[in-house]
Amino acid sequence: MQEQISYFSAFLVGFLGVVHCAGMCGGIIGALTLSQLSDGKLRKVSIILSYNLARICSYALAGGLMASLGWFATHWLEIHLAQGLMQLLAGLFMLALGLYLSGWWFGLNRLENLGAFVWKRLEPLGRQLMPVKNFRQAFVLGLVWGWLPCGLVYSVLIWSMSAGSFYKGALMMASFGLGTLPNLLLMGLFAGSLLKYFQNNKIRQISGVIIILFAVYMLKAAVTVIRHAL
């Protein structure tokens, strides 16, 4: 039951994170959409869906790898203590994410800057795939796009470390990715009219506060686990 709650919570974080996605991925979505203007609506939706699903595949792979690192960490520490410490770290990152989305603190920008090292090597590959002309190009572009430096993604990746196995970490990040899917699909279809709505300060603050409350819950649960483990 607890696992199902975690997957749903990851989905919810992805859904609420649209206020960040609008600023981070809005330009990418707009460029991809413009390249499909001459296509019919069904093909346009299929292309957008294709690279978004590939993006989620990249998230799932990253989540599985992070969960594997967390699994190895449990062999160095008592399992419950290790899980509690990872949950504590995840709660702190989730708190930072809530403050970031609310526009009250932008410390996660530093984490995104670290990810730029990898992105500098992948971004030229993505540029070569533009404009998108077929589903294969769209899928490969989505796989590349999934590694775009993003504080929102990194926060959930830290959380996935506590998942316990490659499979569960991959499923957690896939749940998060599916949470981002509805809003990014809508941005792809109605980019001009929705970006302004998603970037509204009140929407940002409401989303941020919800995630801050969730972070407080995570931190409280982590402290309880650590106390029992000591």
Name the pTM for this structure: 0.88
| Total tally of structural domains belonging to the chain | 1
User: Closest Cα partner for 145 from 24, 43, 63, 64?
Assistant: 24
**Per-residue pLDDT tens digits of the chain, which is 230 residues long:** 556 768 999 999 999 887 776 666 666 666 666 555 556 667 777 888 888 899 999 999 999 999 999 888 877 777 778 888 999 999 999 999 999 888 898 888 887 787 777 778 888 887 887 777 778 888 998 899 888 888 899 999 999 998 889 999 999 999 999 999 888 887 766 655 566 666 678 888 998 999 999 999 999 999 998 988 87
Tell me the residue range of the domain where 105 lies. Answer: 2-229
* Residue 15 parent element (H or E): helix 2-16
Q: Tokens representing 151?
A: 């504080």
Q: Which two tokens stand for residue 209?
A: 């506060």
Distance CA 214, CA 197 (A): 24
Please give the C-alpha separations between residue 105 and each of 91, 138, 139, 208, 224, in angstroms, as whole numbers. 16, 35, 34, 11, 27
Neighbours of 154 (CB within 10 A): 20
CA separation for the pair 161, 168 (Å, rounded): 10
Q: Is there a contact between 179 and 103 (Cβ–Cβ < 8 Å)?
A: no
